[in-house]
Structure 1
């Protein structure tokens, strides 16, 4: 199992909308994530800074790298771009976090 963590950022005042959209995650998005090896995917919000911390457990790095190219992922990015910081291709601006400890 490969563990990864990323940091992203919401626009101010978009916390409830972000949570709502993820509670209503499209079935085809959920299916695509699993098909590409996501065993576990959790996102946490720091309400003081609006930073999101995503934690993933994936099966295979190569399979996971194909996620951004899927049509459903592109559609999701388009759906989310109005509530979070994004790149010109609508992907979330994200920073990989370094794993420094595990119990």
Structure 2
């Protein structure tokens, strides 16, 4: 299992709609997340900075293949089309990143 943290901005005028959408995530999107080995997936909001922090645990064997499978899913694509315009990627993100990955520096069970 691999723990992952990511951060991204969210446009202030989109926060309420983003929260509403994530209170009722489409069943097909949730199924694809599970199908791709992701568990314990949580998104937190930090206001007034308008930052989203995502935490997830990956239980699969091939992250790249599972991410490609998720990206190929039509329902997930529609979900992303609705939600991506609400997000504001960090200026400091690496090329090719949307959410910026975070380094794990401490963990205790």
**How many angstroms does 1:11 deviate by?**
0.5
The residue number in structure 1 matching 2:79 is 76
Listed as ranges, the matches of 1:1-103 within 5 Å are 1-60=1-60, 61-66=63-68, 67-85=70-88, 93-103=98-108
TM-score, normalised via structure 2 length: 0.80
Cα shift at 1:63: 4.7
Consecutive unaligned residues of structure 2, counting only runs of 5 or more, are: 90-96
Equivalenced residue count is 98
Pairwise CA RMSD:
1.7
Gapped runs of 5+ residues in structure 1?
87-91
Q: Deviations over 1:3-51 (max 9, x none)?
A: 1111111111222211100011000001111111111100011112111
- Flag the structure with higher helix content: 2
Normalised to the residue count of structure 1, the TM-score between the two structures is: 0.84
